[in-house]
Amino acid sequence: MIDLRSDTVTRPSRAMLEEMMVAPVGDDVYGDDPTVNELQRYAAGLAGKDAALFLPTGTQANLVALLSHCERGEEYIVGQGAHNYLYEAGGAAVLGSIQPQPIDAAADGTLPLDKVAAKIKADDIHFARTKLLSIENTHNGKVLPRDYLRQAWEFTRERKLGLHVDGARIFNAVVEYGCELKEIAQYCDSFTICLSKGLGTPVGSLLVGSHDYIKRATRWRKMTGGGMRQAGILAAAGLYALKNNVARLQDDHDNAAWLAEQLREIGADVMRHDTNMLFVRVGDAQAAALGAYMRERDVLINASPVVRLVTHLDVSREQLSDVVSHWKAFLAQ
Ligand SMILES: *Cc1c(COP(=O)(O)O)cnc(C)c1O
């Protein structure tokens, strides 16, 4: 199978599984798991921040992040299409009584700071208290302009807001900037990392921030059911991923660019490609037929009018070349 639906479909490699097999473990709720502790220390070190916390999923990492920034009756400003507004079942509102204030993102994926400023509420008993700005990098594959990160940081300092970055794919941004993680992590209070996407682990995310912040987050993680026991088996995969699978994200970006170019050449309507994602307009009528045609040829795509194709460590250039051939045959019929 060639699976282009998402970079979450990656399987652990033999080398990663071997690390998991031999990982020293302990009860992480007691803080006793040496491999979890090492992963958290390692990630905090890469980020130049005090501390990190290992969680089962990115959704829980974002929820715990928001709960650790905002209390009941407080508010976060967030993009309409942001994962932690749109795709997390309203968790912050449902479980935290935290009010989201969504705004439209600009075409480059940023939340324009003048628009953010216009939504910050005055200190008035009628209003929720605005506490946090939450941005996403990468957003639908788009790397936020590097200048914006510093501007958002300075803006939130002036306005006394926290700044959280949903960095599920932050390393795709790091590879694209050609910088170190700490060079961009300095411009936020907290951020998340998904280990289970392009980095290729079966499970796991990290939340990174200051000592006090991560201490609060650890309590929220326990309350939301994310306190795991011998989690070092999973953390070992995360350590392996951070040490071996970051630089190679460039291959995924190169493959996405190559696939975009090839599909354009055969007449497909490629709207854009950014980092490891491309978006191809196929239209309502063709979507289901294309999906079925590809599935018969062992290629999995999300059959929708605009197909999002995602490259990752389990698809090679040769396999993508087969996808282009099938696509061409589909268009020719
Ligand atoms: C996937 C994703 C998440 C959530 O991660 P899960 O591990 O699937 O819960 C959060 N934010 C963004 C931007 C994502 O792409």
> Which protein residue's CA is at the shortest distance from atom 3 of ligand 1?
58
Q: What is the pLDDT of residue 58?
A: 98
| C-beta 101 within 6 A of ligand 1 | no
The first and second tokens of residue 98, run together, are 């935290």
Q: What are phi and psi of 284, to 5 degrees?
A: -60, -45
Whether residues 190 and 208 share a domain: the answer is: yes
Whether residues 178 and 278 share a domain: the answer is: no
Whether residues 165 and 287 share a domain: the answer is: no
**Cα(81) to centroid(ligand 1), Å:** 12
The first and second tokens of residue 136, run together, are 């996403």
| C-beta 10 within 6 A of ligand 1 | no
| C-beta 230 within 6 A of ligand 1 | no
Whether residues 277 and 240 share a domain: the answer is: no
In a domain, residue 50? The reply is yes
| C-beta 176 within 6 A of ligand 1 | no
| C-beta 20 within 6 A of ligand 1 | no
Whether residues 149 and 136 share a domain: the answer is: yes
Strand partners, 102: 78
**Burial status of residue 300 (CB atoms within 10 A of its CB: 0-12, 13-18, 19 or more):** middle
> Which stretches does DSSP call E strand in the chain?
2-3, 51-55, 74-79, 99-103, 129-136, 162-166, 190-194, 205-209, 269-274, 277-281, 299-300, 306-310
Whether residues 293 and 309 share a domain: the answer is: yes
Mutate to test the pocket of ligand 1, among 6, 137, 142, 166 (most ligand atoms within 8 A of CB): 166
Whether residues 201 and 258 share a domain: the answer is: no
| C-beta 165 within 6 A of ligand 1 | no
Whether residues 22 and 162 share a domain: the answer is: yes
| C-beta 228 within 6 A of ligand 1 | no
**Cα(191) to centroid(ligand 1), Å:** 12
What is the extent of the structural domain holding 110? 7-244
Mutate to test the pocket of ligand 1, among 60, 62, 83, 191 (most ligand atoms within 8 A of CB): 83
Last residue in a domain, options 193, 218, 244: 244
pLDDT along the chain (333 residues), means of 10: 97 98 98 98 98 98 98 98 98 98 98 98 98 98 98 98 98 98 98 98 98 98 98 98 98 98 98 97 94 98 96 98 98 93
| C-beta 276 within 6 A of ligand 1 | no
Do the Cβ atoms of 2 and 315 come closer than 8 Å? yes
d(CA 168, CA 148): 18
d(CA 149, CA 176): 14
Q: What is the pLDDT of residue 107?
A: 97
Last residue in a domain, options 198, 220, 244: 244
In a domain, residue 2? The reply is no
Strands 277-281 and 205-209: unpaired
* Atom number in ligand 1 closest to CA 59: 9
The first and second tokens of residue 57, run together, are 């999923």
| C-beta 58 within 6 A of ligand 1 | yes
Whether residues 149 and 169 share a domain: the answer is: yes
> Which protein residue's CA is at the shortest distance from atom 10 of ligand 1?
58
